[in-house]
A and B are shown apart, each in its own frame.
Chain A
Amino acid sequence: MTGALENLWRRFFGSLGNSLLTLAVLALLALALPPLLRWALIDASFTAKTPLECRAAGGACWAFVHEKYRLILFGRYPYAEAWRPLAAMLVIVSLIGSACGGFIRPRSLPVALLVASTAVAALMWGGVFGLAYVESTSWGGLPLTLILSVSGIAIAFPLAIALALGRRSRLSLVSALCAAFIELMRGVPLVSLLFMASFMLPLFMPRHVQIDELLRALVAIALFSAAYLAEAIRGGLQGVPASQEEAARSLGLSPVRANLLVVVPQALRIAIPGIVNVFIALFKDTSLVGIVGLMDLLLATKQALGDPAWRSFALEAYLFVAALYFGPCFFMSRYSQALERKLRAGEGAS
């Protein structure tokens, strides 16, 4: 017992430097935590009806979130129809949940994705089953962020596999084209691609073709992420021994089937950490669509703060939205670590 205590003491105050460090951190916590707690919880106001009431309480005004949550979460989607984006979100979340929980086999994922996106499209747009039609320009908030993320990944992923294989191709023209595309996309900021898509895409299309604003942003996000994803997957491809492909070929598989059935699955497994990092980045990057005027979660929050009566509660609003972004990102990074451990354990067992 005394040994454990002594050990603990040594970890906090083992040397002079360590003791100073401990004291400095303790002092910092003692200075920062009590006012922070008082602001965020004790003096905070959760139920105030007016900004004045909030300010009188002296702490954080979480009542702002209560007051504006519909605008923040659903943007300008018609008020009476709010159950539809909510249902669409549930569809997306249950798709992700069942894919992560292993209820959908990877092979049937494309079908599940197709079914889910049809359901989401029907719910969001309406115009079928007696649902009123809602233009995509009125979509907003969290559903928009989720739709952009999931469909961005769904488009970017196959494209990235093609780009990664193409960059490694022995056909020099193919590999040069893929490399040029990847480096171009990785060399410019996403904002410039979003501007490009929103100003220029209509100019590159035949005159009568109208492209939805949402689709323009989606194209920019998907192409940008595909380039990063392709590099992550290429790293995985490099980790698969050449003998794997040779063995598959000698069993009589065609080059395409040898790649898709033997090499790519192993490459994806190696590349999991990199792939998930790109997914996390993509989810965070969807917040940039607000710069070209799409009402995503972040822009909806800014709009909510546009109300002059409530504009001094920006900190509360942004912290609330930060928590909404933090949850999925943190989950993804932890899930990828767990997946890595599981796959490594499987490898050891076989």
Chain B
Amino acid sequence: MAAPRALAVSRNAAPSRAFLLQALIFALVIALAGFLAFNLIGNLGARSIRTGFAFLHGTAGFDIGETFLSYDEHATYGRALLVGLLNTVAVSAAGILLSTLIGSSVGLGRLSRNPLVGPLAGTYVEALRNVPLLLQLYLWYAVLTELLPPDGAAPALLPGLYLAKSGLHFPVLGEKPVVPLVALGAGLVAAMVFRHLAKLHQARTGKRYAAWLAWALALLPAALLLARMLASSPLDIPQERRFGFVGGGTLTPELTALLIGLSLYNGAFIAEILRGAIQSVAPGQGEAAAALGLRRGQRLRLVIVPQALRVAVPPLASQYLNLAKNSSLAVAIGYPDLMSVGNTIVNQTGQALEVIGMVMAAYLTLSLSIAGFMNWYNARVGLIGAP
């Protein structure tokens, strides 16, 4: 337990002094809020700015390039904001996934004993995290829209994968993979049940079941069903024609630049977090695990990574939060996320107070929910009984 802190403030003063001080501060805050509100009402009246949320039902009249909901220019402002919010959530989720992948490989690379890999990963980290993200986004966007070959002249990176001025073109499934996804979900549940039973069994008898069995349980049926689906309805592969691409899926240059920029930039920070976390595990832990006869993979998985995660989760959480908030830089390169849709609506309706207030509230909710999830996860991986 921490010692009772701040004995200093006023231990021997009468409690009424603290009360008076707080009352004074409260009065000041109320006065300030009143002053601001008074000015606001006066100014809104003087400039005859409309107020209220009635505008949400008005027709937006502008188009949004990429949407997860059905949307056209006759839809309402409210729906436009919702579309923007979904785009923000999607870009943040994809960015978190990609930057974690990049961050873990670069972080492990920095720890590598190989004298080439370590400095290479170090150069990556220093180069990316010391340059503003906005500049990197502009740079990627310029590369994608100015320097790439035009449609019709773009070579395939991999079979069916093209990067051209019109964006990233990639093959998609011919139909929605509903059945394989259901099978995957069922497989995952079965695998979790299996792992739980295997743990109980191990606790009772000391005998271990191989972990790959659980994975096979989760993945095999889904993979088989996916293969059967592919056999009946083949992939939709983009075809390069002279003036553009036909078929396949497309990521616009805006979204591609945003995803590349966000993932590379945050990947550099995540690499540092993971490196620090792994280095914080006392070397004796790995040696002790080796002395107990654990193999290298087991040592990492069962001894080092769980202890490193405990250190890594809080800074990782704030990095994910940063990524979600940084996705608002989309406004600068024209990807229709929440911030840029909000900005367009402010310019059209002039109701900055309501729109920016709503946008900020949405980001606050998003931040608090990521923070809440990471707190829950932190409590799960934390030491039992630790503060």
Contacts and interface: CB of A to CB of B under 8 A. Distances in A.
A92 interface: no
A199 B352 contact: yes
A5 B6 CA distance: 60
A200 B131 contact: no
Max chain B C-beta neighbours (<10 A), residue from A25, A258, A325: A25
Contacts of B3: 242-243
Contacts of A26: 116
Interface stretch (B95-103, B279-287, B326-334): B326-334
Contact of A174 (B4, B25, B135): B25
Nearest to A253: B8
A191 B367 contact: no
B120 A25 contact: yes
A255 B363 contact: no
Interface string A180-213: 0000101111111001100110111111000000
A209 to B, nearest CB: 9
Interface in B104-158: 112-117, 120, 126-127, 129-136, 138-139, 142-143, 146-147
Sorted nearest first, the 3 A-B pairs with minimum C-beta distance are A314-B142, A329-B130, A199-B352
B39 interface: yes
Contact of A189 (B5, B8, B147, B339): B339
B139 A192 contact: no
Nearest to A246: B7
A115 to B, nearest CB: 30
B94 interface: no
A297 to B, nearest CB: 9
Contacts of B8: 245-246, 248-249, 255, 258-259
Contact of B326 (A189, A202, A326): A189
Contact of B353 (A171, A203, A287, A325): A203
A207 B7 contact: no
A287 B135 CA distance: 8
Interface stretch (A67-75, A95-103, A156-164, A315-323): A315-323
A284 B132 contact: yes
Contact of A171 (B9, B113, B329): B9
A168 B6 contact: yes
A207 B116 CA distance: 63
B367 to A, nearest CB: 4
Interface stretch (B42-50, B77-85, B376-384): B42-50
A311 B363 contact: no
Name the interface size band of chain A: 35 or more
A202 B130 CA distance: 34
Given A191-B329, A191-B331, A298-B134, 20 more contacts: A21-B117, A25-B114, A169-B6, A171-B22, A187-B364, A189-B363, A192-B339, A192-B356, A199-B346, A200-B356, A204-B43, A207-B39, A246-B7, A255-B8, A284-B131, A291-B134, A325-B130, A325-B132, A326-B130, A329-B130
B197 interface: no
Max chain B C-beta neighbours (<10 A), residue from A290, A291, A319: A291
A326 B136 CA distance: 12
Interface of B: 2-10, 18, 21-22, 25-26, 29, 36, 39-40, 42-44, 46, 112-117, 120, 126-127, 129-136, 138-139, 142-143, 146-147, 321, 325-326, 328-329, 331-332, 339, 343, 346, 352-353, 356, 359-360, 363-364, 367-368
A177 interface: yes
Given A189-B339, A195-B346, A242 B25 contact: no
A302 interface: yes
A171 B146 contact: no
A280 interface: yes
Interface string A271-302: 00000000010001101101100000010001
A314 B146 contact: yes
B39 A330 contact: no
A173 interface: yes
A330 B138 contact: no
A249 B7 contact: yes
Contacts of B21: 171
Contacts of A137: none
Nearest to A23: B116
Contacts of B120: 25
A304 B165 CA distance: 22
Given A171-B18, A188-B364, A199-B356, A245 B7 contact: yes
Contacts of B6: 168-170, 242, 245
A329 B112 CA distance: 26
B22 A173 contact: yes
Contacts of A192: 328, 339, 356, 359-360, 363
Nearest to B19: A171
A11 to B, nearest CB: 5
A333 B356 CA distance: 35
11 contacts: A190-B325, A191-B339, A204-B43, A207-B39, A246-B8, A255-B8, A255-B10, A288-B134, A298-B134, A318-B135, A322-B136
Nearest to B36: A204
Nearest to B3: A242
A12 interface: yes
A68 B117 CA distance: 38
A314 B44 CA distance: 42
Contact of A291 (B25, B331, B364): B331
Contact of B367 (A18, A188, A284): A188
A94 interface: no
Interface string A222-266: 000000000000000000001101101100000100110000000
Given A173-B26, A192-B363, A168 B132 contact: no
